[in-house]
Chains A and B, each alone.
Chain A
Amino acid sequence: MAEKGSYTKRIDGRSFDALRPISAKVGVVPNADGSAMFSQGDTIAIAAVYGPKTLHPKNQQNPEKGVLRVHYNMLSFSVGERIRPGVSRRSQEISQVTEWALTPVVMLEELPGTVIDIHINIIQANAGTRCAGINAAAMALAHAGIPMKEMVSAVAIGKMDQTIVSDVTKEEEDYKEGEAATDIPMAYLSNSKKISLLQLDGRIQAKRLIEALDAGKKACQKIYEIQKKVLKESE
């Protein structure tokens, strides 16, 4: 897939379609109804699911289906330079896209008048935090016994100059040579073969985007297998 370009070898020595080492665990938050930890290389996300529970205030309840709420948060020590704790513009955006990525699989019509709260905390960040968050959240939802159509897996695909790579790191995100770096986070439903999240930061040709999506689907399939395995081994 590597065409001519300046990025011929990855900074951490991985092959272009290789993922960072993944480790995952469910049941990490004992007080939650369901929880999961998902780490890709140096990125570590913890997701906790509370609910279904009655939604208050009552005027926000939907009598036809449940409500899904996602709270994404990066802890102040998760990056090199301390970030201001609390809600930021960026974290609000990521909470929203994570909610949209997960809503298609959660069978909310089974839970009228209730709310499911998902809290995603990034305890260590090295790019791809929203993807790690979605992976952790999907596992936590399954662990919480929420009715779901299927699992969601997410990965960040990058284009470094001319080369398409899977699971980008922070160093790669900051790549400046040639056409520089493009970051494409995507969430994929492996069973129904649908995409539930697709963002793009940078520039990419239409033809190359399709190539990037194919790489992403392959990577998500690998992540899905890991999610499944970890859930099964948790009991």
Chain B
Amino acid sequence: MTKEKTEVKHGKREIVTPGEIIAKGDFLPGDWTTKEGEEIIANRFGIVDKTERLVRVVPITGVYIPRRGNVVIAEVADITMNGWIMEIKAPYQAFLMLKECPMYVDEYEMENVYGIGDLVVTKIVSVKRRAIDLTTKGRGLDKIKDGMIVEINPHRVPRVIGKEGSMISQIKIASGCDITVGQNGLIWVRGRSKEEELFAKKIIDFIVENTTSDGLTEQVEQWIKENKPKNLGKIEGKEAKEKTEEFAESSVESESQEFGEEKE
């Protein structure tokens, strides 16, 4: 499903509840809406998005709906003969096939590659009715060995990433951490110290709380200025900059490309 750019120009976005009439007259019903006569009715709690004649509701709460091409952070739930059963916080279980793993895997020692309980950065290959297939073939897709996981609501991920990844690079620069965002609401934060990781988490929490307000990038910039711990600044000297660039090389570009189309 394609997502169009939102051009709402007021302080807070309009929130609707199920059953509410969002538009009357010559409009087309988009996602999570139905048309009854002349009226477009919301079928879900969320933000209204009117793009020309199309009216849709953008959900802000609820469980993750898997889409093809999404990068998600998955937990290994079980190991079977020909792959791994993964938990991606969606209503249905996902499957990572043996042949979708980029390295050689000994069929009898699959737990050495991805053991039960391991977190793995994966990509969704296909969503067929109720079967979700994953892959770990691709850049940046691998098992998570260090760092911290921040969990947020999956419907707020587009705001954490921002337009063309503007928000996420802002967080990366401010905290000095490397961040991988899973579309299922799990965010992998990897910094050089615990303080850095916790600060990145705080920024993410701030974004999540203010999902419905406009001009969030500026607000976050302001918030970072006010709340940045002093000791964090010290590490952020020359060394930190080098580190950041190094991180940037490995992930920033690839992520903004991958997620570019997924923003609100």
Q: Which residues of A are interface residues toward B (Cβ below 8 A)?
A: 33-34, 51-54, 105, 107, 111-114, 142-151, 189-191, 227-228, 231-232, 235
Q: Is the CB of B19 within 8 A of A150?
A: yes
Q: Is the CB of B61 within 8 A of A114?
A: no
Q: Which residues of B are interface residues toward A (Cβ below 8 A)?
A: 15-20, 32, 34, 41, 43-46, 59-63, 91-93, 130, 155, 211-212
Looking at B16, B18, B46, B130, the one whose CB has the most chain A CB atoms below 10 A away is B18
A111 to B63, CA, bound (A): 12
Q: Which residue from chain A places its CB closest to the CB of B62 in the assembled complex?
A: A145
Looking at A51, A114, A145, the one whose CB has the most chain B CB atoms below 10 A away is A145
Q: Is the CB of A142 within 8 A of B17?
A: yes
Looking at B43, B46, B60, the one whose CB has the most chain A CB atoms below 10 A away is B43
Q: Is the CB of A143 within 8 A of B61?
A: yes
Q: Is the CB of B19 within 8 A of A235?
A: no
Besides A146-B62, A148-B43, 4 other CB < 8 A contacts?
A: A107-B43, A114-B92, A144-B62, A147-B43
Rank and list the top 5 A-B pairs by shortest CB-CB distance, nearest first. Answer: A145-B62, A150-B19, A148-B18, A145-B61, A142-B45
- Known A-B contacts A149-B18, A151-B19, A227-B17; the reply to A53 vs B60 at CB < 8 A is no
CB of B64 to closest CB in A, whole Å: 10
Q: Is the CB of A54 within 8 A of B93?
A: yes
CB of B121 to closest CB in A, whole Å: 23
A147 to B34, CA, bound (A): 11
Q: Which residue from chain A places its CB closest to the CB of B61 in the assembled complex?
A: A145
In the complex, chain B residues whose CB is within 8 Å of the CB of A34 = 61-62
In the complex, chain A residues whose CB is within 8 Å of the CB of B16 = 232
In the complex, chain A residues whose CB is within 8 Å of the CB of B60 = 145, 235
A94 to B91, CA, bound (A): 27
Q: Is the CB of A54 within 8 A of B91?
A: yes
Q: Is the CB of A54 within 8 A of B43?
A: no
